[in-house]
Structure 1
Amino acid sequence: APVLPRRRAPGDAPLEAVAAPDGTELFLCATGRPGLPDWRADFEAAQPPTGTEPRAGTEPGAGAVRRVDHLSLTQPWHQFDEAALFHRAVLGLRPQESVDVADPYGLLRSRAVSTDDGAVRIVLTVGAAPVDDTAHAQHIALAVDDVVAAARALRAAGGTLLPIPANYHDDLAARFEFADGELEAYRELGILYDRDAHGEFRHCYTRTVGRVFFELVQRDGGHRGYGAANAPVRLAAQHAARGLTGG
């Protein structure tokens, strides 16, 4: 893959990027390696003014974001297989099985590519027909230790969570047993839940802004999925929210 041209200011780290088939720019960065420029210098947070108090809910704690769990990138319908091949050949990510998910616009096809240890995860999605690709947004999933605390902190900071229909949590109550008050918190915050032989998966979403939304993810016990069982519920909720806002 050819290196893309990029304009740099004098103090910028020399970050190089290549383009994926859908045009996404992938930057190849060194982190803490002696003799190589560290990309983190370009993103150092500015110091807050003297005497400024941290905003409520932003202090590091149980709901703090730990890392990026995965990215979900919508692909042009004719480049889905090419995208999987690109991520395998260029980044060494191993493709997983494709999954078809029910969507208000038709079937949505999804395939994850990841490293063997799950440290890098990318989910590639595409509609089943050559329709307008802007119907599906991209999203960034952030790993947290406590999704309930993280969701409450996000809401306290002014963020808006995606509302989930009440019948989803009614169904959860029939399928699983929860600790006292646990399911009520999920209803309040729009948290979705899944469980398999490896562990548990709790997650919730922000509303979509433009073509991007965020997901908060809590993995317990070695769960390595992406909540595919909950995807139709999330997609329907996003479709309903889009209709309410006219977006």
Structure 2
Amino acid sequence: MDIDGIDHVEFFVGDAQQWAHFLCFAFGFRVQGQAGPETGLPGRRSLLLVQGDIRVLLTSALDPEDPAAVYTARHGDGVATIAFSVADTRGAFETAVAQGAAVAEEPTVLERCGARVVTASVAGFGDVTHRFVERTGDPEEFLPGLMEMVPSTPAAQEPPLLAVLDHAAICLPAGELAPTVEYYQKVFGFSQIFEEFIEVGEQAMDSKVVQSPSGKITFTLIEPVVGRKPGQIDEFLARHGGAGVQHLALLTDDIVGTVKTLEQRGVAFLQTPDTYYTELEQRLGRPELDLGALRETNVLVDRDHWGEVFQIFTQSMHIRRTFFWEVIDRHGARTFGSGNIKALYEAKARERATA
């Protein structure tokens, strides 16, 4: 199966306009398309947001029976679809189904003015699906015949703060980690590239990372350890109503500058204890970025065989305190070291303690 990368991520949300306002004002996305009954999309409204190579589709239901309404009633706002860019949708769909994937949407062809998009969907984890997307013709057309594209403005030509989706972190119920890894290996041809057992006090979790052959799609899969004190993964599963995307990581090439800009626009990040930075050089040596700047912005750092990775996590804006964002900057690092995963776990534990 020839999966290139992530075509887009679709959120099912109660109010797409409200989400779009925040993501555009605070994170620097811009609206590139809009769809609804007036454009030929019945029962729902969607807004397409773009920044760099990141495409986010926000969808709100107009019909209480629409899948978007069913999803938000159970899970609240969240990631419903992670779409894969492929050269041959029908071939990818047939291969996935033959390998055991459940059908979510049969292949559909959308065409307009020379642009052609073929889509089909299969089950992923929990209620999240994967949409295969094959595109030919005008690259600006997102859903030909169903979405009205919005002309670019001069502001759209400014350099983006955020470049691509680096990875998605996914929480799974206990006992589902190994079967989910096997599913992505068998159905989509992903490989397991990392695993880690994390202990923080009386809490513990298992994590495995799977990645597409292209290296452009990475999922960090996490499950709680049975018999340990319930922690943030258990909390997510209870509030979300099962497996789901806990966060999406947005890649930048200047994390200090990006964090300062986002904070000025109202994005709230998790705070890091000052002791983290006083002990940092002893733990890892002197980082490539200025220690004072890291301390000022609360950015975390870890190292692997190839280099360093810098990251920070936003506070959750979700009413259920489930989904949040990560901003990440890779200086050669390719993997997810134990320090990164443990830092996330401890950072969320600090947020829970002060909630």
Cα 1:43–1:72 shift into 2, 3 Å: farther
Gaps of 5+ in 1: none
Report the secondary structure of 2:220's partner residue. strand
Q: State the structure with bigger RCO (CA 8 A, min sep 6), 1 or 2.
A: 1
- Give percent identity, aligned residues only: 22
Q: Shift of the alpha carbon at 1:76?
A: 1.4
Which string of whole-angstrom CA distances, capped at 9 and with x for unpartnered residues, describes residues 117-150 of structure 1?
A: 4211111000011868552471101111111111
Which string of whole-angstrom CA distances, capped at 9 and with x for unpartnered residues, describes residues 9-66 of structure 1?
A: x99x664221124332111112x43599964667887458x9xx959xx9425xx211
Cα 1:166–1:40 shift into 2, 3 Å: farther
Which string of whole-angstrom CA distances, capped at 9 and with x for unpartnered residues, describes residues 159-206 of structure 1?
A: 111111111111113342246x81111111111111233111111111
What pairs with 1:1-247 in structure 2 (closer than 5 Å)? Answer: 1-5=101-105, 15-30=119-134, 32-34=135-137, 39=142, 46=150, 59-60=158-159, 64-103=161-200, 106-129=203-226, 134-136=234-236, 138-175=246-283, 176-178=285-287, 182-209=290-317, 210-221=321-332, 223-245=333-355
Indicate the RMSD between aligned Cα atoms, in angstroms.
Answer: 3.5
Number of corresponding residues: 233
How far apart in 1 are the matches of 2:196 and 2:287? 28
Report the secondary structure of 2:205's partner residue. strand
Contact 1:205/1:213 (<8 A) preserved:
yes
Aligned amino acid, residue 255 of structure 2:
V
TM-score of the pair, normalised by structure 2: 0.57
Contact 1:22/1:83 (<8 A) preserved:
no
Report the secondary structure of 1:111's partner residue. strand
Contact 1:194/1:229 (<8 A) preserved:
yes
Q: Which has the higher strand share?
A: 2
Contact 1:164/1:190 (<8 A) preserved:
yes
Aligned amino acid, residue 103 of structure 2:
V
TM-score of the pair, normalised by structure 1: 0.79
Contact 1:138/1:213 (<8 A) preserved:
yes
Report the secondary structure of 1:23's partner residue. coil
